[in-house]
Every structure is written in structure tokens, then in C-alpha cells.
Amino acid sequence: MTETPDPRPSGATPEHQHEPTRDLGPIWETEPQGQPAYAAPPPRRRRGAGLAAAVLATSVLAGGAAGVGGAAAWQEWGPEPTSATTTSSGTASASPVLDAAPAPAATDGSVQAAAEAVLPSVVKINVSGSGGSGSGSGVVLTEDGQILTNHHVVEVAEEGGTITVDFADGSHARAEILGLDPLTDTALIQAQDVSGLTPASIGSSSALAVGQDVVAIGSPFGLDATVTSGIVSALDRPVDVGTDSEGNATVYPAVQTDAAINPGNSGGPLVDLAGRVVGINSSIRTTGSSSPFGQTSEGGSIGLGFAIPIDEIMPIVEQMAAGEAPTHARLGISVSDVGVDVGSGGSGSGPGSSSTEGALVVDGAQVRTVGAGSTAGEAGLQEGDIITGIDDRAITSADSLVATIRSYRPGDEVTVTFERDGEEQTTTLVLDSDADQS
């Protein structure tokens, strides 16, 4: 089950209609072209609150002149003007007193403090190539311009395209690709002829807790330096966003958040309230929507955003920075979801599935093939086994297994829990590396 991030605009997905995988839309999309400019309506008589509410509910994507449109709406449906500029004697009143006091200083552990710490390290990335053009986000890792972003943000520029970076201080620079890793949706680029940049502080995703406050920063729909906040909604959420040219799935154990993430946020940081990067925003789930005027708009945030854990990314970044090809842990098997058998008319009655009267769903990843000489084969795993756990983490599906293994490194030792013929068993093995593939 896959869904491939696409840098080109994608159509909105109607509610309840599922894409080939989890209906996870790509976070990085170019903005729809040909949007009609918003024009203020002609003067007319005042109308009821219902029409005003319809206008106020219109998406900000309706046009760039949002300020003009808002002013026109207020003048049309707001209260009648009063002669507040004159006194009872007909003379002009005094000008209102403006409070010029500075904004309060940010307190430690606040969203404001986190934003102040990270904003100087967040960039907007503009790309173009034979496959199209668009923009995304990135985070500065070194003073001399190494920038972390998503693979799907810059892949359009891989074959002779161009990349430019907009920095927080308003400066700009060309950039080139240092490394790409489609399996973790990670990319490292190098800005040219820059120095003295502010690197972001890197935290640890393994220290995150569900319910913890987090902040997302990036350039949604090209609006650079946008800050949103929310909580960690879930951890280790298996997210499948595509496959590489060899059919390997891009699946990672995502940090799920309700902080608003939209197309263009891809590659930007998810940070804790100490201002430390704990993830890289990468994908969202969207639902289609329509305006009151019958137009279908591009899907945006519905509070289901996903970030790649920073602990998974940094070893890959270090390899790319050193000019090495990224490596990943592997078991050396192919798996599928466990079959679902509904009475005698169900499907999935192959090895490992079972049925009784009524419906029975078995969680786990069912082994389909075992590679010759693989670590899984040497540890005794067989076709038909159902893997239900890796160390202390439950495995509920094929994607869950792939995402969990991706969170380890080659050479790590893990304990695999599996079922065979209704009996639970365990085995310990050392994970292979895909660098060993012939």
C-alpha cells in the first residue's frame, strides 16, 4: 500500500474516498494556478448575518487581496458609520492615544520562546526543474549552509533543476543537493557562498510524550516563517507515503501532531517548547472541501499532520554530509497485512490467517518470503509466521513492521515476537543493512 508524494498540485480527495493507501496527502504541493482575484462586491443594501457568515467562511486562498475584501465586507454589512470624528460643538476630536509599549518578553517554555529560538534557522526553499516548480521549507544545520529538508521537496531539481533558499534575514542563495534518501523522505542541501548562519538546536524524538506541546514552523502555501502550535497526538504512527524506483516503501514511524501543517510546510521543523528540533514535517491527511460559490479548494490542515522523528533522520544526514550513500536496517523478508476472513466468504485465508464463525481480524505482519542468507532466515523465521512485536513495540500491520525496523540502524540487535500455528515464539537477531544487497 503506497501513496507517492507529488510536488505538483494534487486534487482534493472527497471525504470517505480513500487513496491507494492511508489517504495521506503530500505536504508539499504547488499552489493552484489561475485562482481568480478577489474583487470587492458592488455597493448594495445591508443584508442579514447569514450572508456575512458565508463571506467570512470563504478560504483565504480565494485571492491575494484579503485585506481589501475584508474591508469591503465590513463596510457593507457592518454597523452604520457614526460621526465619531466631531464633537457636539462641531470641532474635531483629539486623536486616539496609541499604546507603544513593547510586547512582553517571551517566557521560557512558551510557544513564543520556542519560535524566537528556531525562526532564524528556518528557510523557505524554492525549486524548479523539468517536472515543475514549487516551494517547501528547510532547517539550517551548520553555519556554512547545510540545510535539512524532505526528499520530495527537492527531487524535482535532481536532474539539472535549480534550488534557491530564502533566509530569515531576507537574504537569498543558490543551493545544490548533497544527498537524497527517498526511503526516509530526507534530503540535505548546501547553500552557496554563505556563512554565519544560525544552526538549529537538535533535540531527541525518543523523549517525546503524547500530549506534549510542540511548534511547527515553515512556509505553508509560500507564507514563509509561519508558526503554528499544537500537541503530540500520537507516536510511532506508521505512515506510508510512496515507493522508490526499486519498489521500496517510504514508511516511517511518524510523530503525529495537530499543529496546523499545510502544503509548503514540508521540510520545516517540529520543535519542542525548548526550541529543539524533534521532527521534520513531511505529510498530512487532507479532505476535500468546497467554497460557498461551488468551487473545490485544495485540501489543507484538518489537524492530522505527521513529522519524521529526528532520531531516525540524523544518522542518515551524517552519512549524506560525509558523501556516503544512506543505509537502512532490514530483516530480509517480504511481508503483508494479515488476512481478514469473514465467514466462508472472506479473503485472506492464506498461511497465518484463521477464521471462526463471524469475523476475525488478526493484527501483525505476515511473512510472505524469506531472503536466502537473511538475518530473519538465520534466526528461524518462516513463510506464514505472523510478526506481532519488535522489542517492546507492538506490530499491527506490514507498514507497522517496516516503520519500526526503519527506526533502528544496521547492526542493532532486536527481539522478534511472532506466532506460528497459534503459538507465540520469540527470537533474537542482528539487523541486516541494505548496503549488503547485491
Q: Cite the active site residues.
A: 152, 185, 266
Tell me the pairing of strands 162-166 and 122-129. antiparallel
CB 32 within 8 A of CB 293: no
Identify the burial level of 400 via C-beta atoms within 10 angstroms of its C-beta, where 0-12 means exposed, 13-18 middle and 19 or more buried: buried
* Secondary element (H or E) of residue 312: helix 310-321
* Secondary element (H or E) of residue 308: strand 305-309
In the Cβ-directed half-sphere of 232, how many Cα atoms lie within 13 Å? Answer: 24
Nearest Cα to Cα of residue 212 among 230, 228, 236:
230
The three-class DSSP label of residue 243 is strand
CB 6 within 8 A of CB 19: no
Per-residue CA distances from 251 to 98, 119, 259, 403, 411 (Å): 54, 28, 21, 5, 20
Q: Which residues are CB-contacts of 108 (< 8 A; sequence separation ≥ 6)?
A: none
